[in-house]
Amino acid sequence: METVDRIKQQIEENPILLYMKGSPKLPSCGFSSQASQALMGCGQAFAYVDILQNPDIRAELPKYANWPTFPQLWVEGELVGGCDIIMEMFQNGELQELVSGVAERHPEPSAE
């Protein structure tokens, strides 16, 4: 599968997706740490892709997204932005609203 197709599939399959350096529990950069902490603070599950483990995605996503830096937050197929935007939205309550709205529209499949 082409890298761009993989990116599109990840964005399509995950209503809340954070492309970051490292993981939410072990972020590898301060900006990724702040972004994942803000998302975790919203209290809903979200997917992430560690771009350090995926150098092809790290190379292609900035071109696809027309956004040069990481982290990148994608919600319902739309690029929300990077760390500064995520933190600003978190501080004024917009991120929590956005994330809880998405969680209502996309309930996680129950493990039965």
- pLDDT at 15 exceeding the cut of 60: yes
pTM value surpassing 0.85: yes
**pLDDT tens profile 47-64:** 999 999 999 999 999 999
Sequence ranges of the binding site for [2Fe-2S] cluster: 29
Contact 1, 10 (CB under 8 A): no
Confidence band, pLDDT 50/70/90 cuts, at residue 108:
low
What residue numbers bound the domain in which 38 lies? 3-105
Q: Please check whether residue 17 lies inside any domain of the structure.
A: yes
Structure tokens at 105: 């529209």
What 3-state class would DSSP assign to 78?
strand
Sequence ranges of the binding site for glutathione: 21, 58, 70, 83-84
What 3-state class would DSSP assign to 13?
helix
CATH number of domain containing 76: 3.40.30.10
How many domains in the chain? Answer: 1
Q: Please check whether residue 24 lies inside any domain of the structure.
A: yes
